[in-house]
Structures are given as structure tokens and as C-alpha cells.
Structure 1
Amino acid sequence: MMYEVHCPICGEETTHRILKESSDLLVQCEVCSHVHRVLRPPCPEPVVVRAIISDEDSSQVGTIELNESDKCFIGDFFVAEIGEEVYTVEVCGIEVGQRRPSRARATDITALWTRVIDSVVVKISVHDGMRTIPCYLRCDGERDFQIGGIENIDGMNVRISHIKLRNGSMMRKEGWKAYARKIRRVYGTRL
């Protein structure tokens, strides 16, 4: 393992290889090969942040563990805990007191507003001649849907014509794909 530290021979901060770990570190300079001891860096203290975890139509309060030095951004992925249950979540909002910034230091965060992305419900509008049939498909957040692809949804074969993403953009080009966790709605025609 490598570590940046001040070398007494080189007189500047250089890359060192850690040779031995105990109460302090035995390191060797990569520039001059000098071996010396340095103090072990302090371990960052974990910060437990309150998280509101949404799974489609229900929300629960859980926690996310961050390091003191971490910065959190909207769109980041974390592991959240609710009791013994563990979920992969995406940050949708950050609360710092009364403000809602797009990023914040872990120590300043009051709460994180998140949504579960392990398993998501994809809303699908199937056009069948004169009517549109609403369908809901629970699937893995990493499953991809492709424009022009054929899916079997509620016993119907459906060709995907376009996909609306959560960021507001619309995908229409044949062959383009999107992960289920990024999709707001899938549109298709019944075959």
C-alpha cells in the first residue's frame, strides 16, 4: 500500500510504501529508498446521517454512515440501513438545517432524502390501437430497457418506442438503452 508523507532525506512530501503497520508505520521512500517510521494517520470518524428512504409509495427513516471528510452530492449512491435491512439508495435531496443544497459536507447534513434503487417499479404505457394500458413492472434497478426492444409485460408483447428519463429527457433513437433506476416511464406499442 502507498502513502504520501514527508521524507527526512528528500526534504519534501513523497510517495512511500508501507512496509509494516503497528502503532506507527514503517515506510520506505519511493524516491530515495530511505526507511523510517511515521505516526499512523488518524482514522476518520464515521458520521451517521438520518436518511428518509423512499420505495415507490412508502417512506421509512433509516441511516447512512459517512466519513467525517466526505462530501455528499445529489445523485450519489450509498448503502442505507433500516434496522437489520440494507438498501442501495440514490440521494434525491440534501437537507442542511432549513436549506436544500445540491451538495454538502457530511458533518453539516441534517438529513438525506433518498430512493431505493435495488428494486424499482417501472411505469409502462402500452398503446393498443385506440387505448393506452398502464402497466407497472417491478424489476432490478440495473435492468436495462432498449428502444426497439420487445418486452413481455403482463402477458403482452410490447415494442418499446421511447423512454422518458427521471432527468426529464426523452430517448427515441433505436437501440438506445436506459437502466430501470433512471426511467420515469416507458412507452410502447402492443404487438
Structure 2
Amino acid sequence: MSDSDAGERVPADCPGCNARTAHEVLKPGGHATVRCTECGHTHKIEIERPATTDVDVIVSQEGESYPTSLAANPEETVEVGDEFVVDTEAAIQQVRVTTVELGEERRVEEAQLGDVETVWTRVVDNVGVNVTVHPKDGRHDETRSLKVHVPGDFEFVVGDVERFGDDEFEIEGVQVRDEAEGYRREKFDHEGDMVFAKDVKRVYARDETTTAWSAW
């Protein structure tokens, strides 16, 4: 059992209504003071909380991985693509599930947290996005790669011209990550197509930098 929060609503048996109704928590504590939302009767109850389990979480960011843990209801389900917040040594970060591991390297798309050994994730609140930039004249042997760092909800739109530092390019296509949800296909190349940065596997663009092109 753990303390509740003031203003929270919990189900409880009401001696005024002689029925089980929703109650508003007035004073949190071991024996919380609550008020029935049906008849207004105020009384004390002990609020039961579901048991929790500590789940190992591996967080990946910019090629580095580090462990943390998450206290959760063992009956809750986790699946690839889910997003949640974890507290790591680096910061409080928003992550997305990339792999659910049950043990002995057995990986599944979803499972109850009580059965999970490790949840593998990657940071999605701030991300590094790989961009392949082709020169204006179409010489593919001088294609170059760069990485831009943006918030996870930054929008990459096909046809838009973006500038990052000394680099300026027009977006020609966007490839979507495997675990990203809500997209009709894996690659978008029609003008106006939009993909959020946290869902991007790679951006393909045409160089628009005003300085002379150089492979060096």
C-alpha cells in the first residue's frame, strides 16, 4: 500500500450510500480521508495499491547504452513502440520500447511486465537524425552524411528547406524506423509528407548550401 494524492478519485464502499462508489481523496495517508461523490459522505478508508515489480530497462542514446529500472504493475502489458518516462543517471528521459526480452534472449513484441526480464529502449525526447545529402548537380560519388540533433517532435517535411549551422538542404525523402507507429509506409517522398524526428531512420536531401560544393 502507498499514499494516495489529494484530489485523486478511488472506488470505495460508502456507508452513506450503502454502495460502492467513486470517492475523492481529501487527505492522503495510511488511512485516507475521502468523500463520496454521490452523497457527499466523508469517512476514512485504507487505499489498496497493486503490487509493483522492478523491471530492468536498457536506455540507448547516440550509440551508448545504460541501465535503469522501472517500478510497474506486473499485470500491465508492455509492447514494442510504447513510450514512457524513466529516471536515469543522466536525466529524466522519454524513451520508446524497441525490444521486449523474456530471458534466454527470447524476444517478443509484447508481454506482461511480470514476465519480462529486460525492456530495451531508445531516447526519443531529443534525438540525432542521420541525413544523406546529395550535391546539387546530382553527382552521387560526392554524397555526404551528417547528423542533426533536434527535439523528438521536430517535423521533417518533404520539400522543406532546413538549415543546421552551415548546412542547408532540401528534404527529398524520409525513411521511417521499424518500430514507429501510425505511418502508412516505410519511406515518404511526396511533397508535404511529414515524419517526426523520433520516428526517422534517415533523411535524404539535396544540398542547398550557398558555398561551393566540396568533397573535402
TM-score normalised by the shorter chain: which range applies? Answer: 0.7 to 0.9
Asked whether 1:170 is paired with 2:179, we answer no
Task: In structure 2, give the amino acid aligned to 1:151.
Answer: E
Q: 1:127 and 1:14, CA in 2 relative to 1: closer, same or farther beyond 3 A?
A: same
Q: 1:9 and 1:94, CA in 2 relative to 1: closer, same or farther beyond 3 A?
A: same
Task: In structure 2, give the amino acid aligned to 1:57.
Answer: G
Task: In structure 2, give the amino acid aligned to 1:114.
Answer: T
Q: 1:67 and 1:32, CA in 2 relative to 1: closer, same or farther beyond 3 A?
A: same
Matches within 5 A, 1:134-173: 134-153=145-164, 155-167=166-178, 169-173=186-190
TM-score with structure 2 setting the length: 0.74
- Look up the SS of the partner of 1:85 in the other structure: coil
Task: In structure 1, give the amino acid aligned to 2:129.
Answer: V
Overall identity of the aligned pairs, in %: 29
Matches within 5 A, 1:45-64: 45-60=51-66, 62-64=67-69
Q: How many residues align?
A: 188
Contact 1:135 1:154 (8 Å CA) reproduced: no
Contact 1:125 1:187 (8 Å CA) reproduced: yes
Deviation by residue 1:64-88 (Cα, 9 ceiling, x = unmatched)? 2222344322122233455x32333
- Look up the SS of the partner of 2:70 in the other structure: strand
CA distance in 2, matches of 1:37, 1:169: 55
4+ aligned runs moved over 4 Å, structure 1: none
Contact 2:55 2:72 (8 Å CA) reproduced: no
Q: 1:186 and 1:46, CA in 2 relative to 1: closer, same or farther beyond 3 A?
A: same
CA distance in 2, matches of 1:112, 1:29: 40
Structure 1 gap segments, 5+ residues each: none
Higher strand share: 1
Question: Alpha-carbon deviation of 1:180?
Answer: 1.3
Question: Alpha-carbon deviation of 1:102?
Answer: 1.9
- What's the RMSD between the two structures over aligned residues? 2.4
Please identify, of 116-125 and 91-100, the stretch whose mean Cα deviation from structure 2 is larger.
116-125
CA distance in 2, matches of 1:148, 1:111: 40
Question: Alpha-carbon deviation of 1:152?
Answer: 2.4
Asked whether 1:72 is paired with 2:81, we answer no
TM-score with structure 1 setting the length: 0.82
Contact 1:66 1:106 (8 Å CA) reproduced: no
- Look up the SS of the partner of 2:107 in the other structure: coil
Deviation by residue 1:75-125 (Cα, 9 ceiling, x = unmatched)? 22233455x323332110111124322222222210111112243221112
For 2:23, the equivalent position in structure 1 comes to: 16
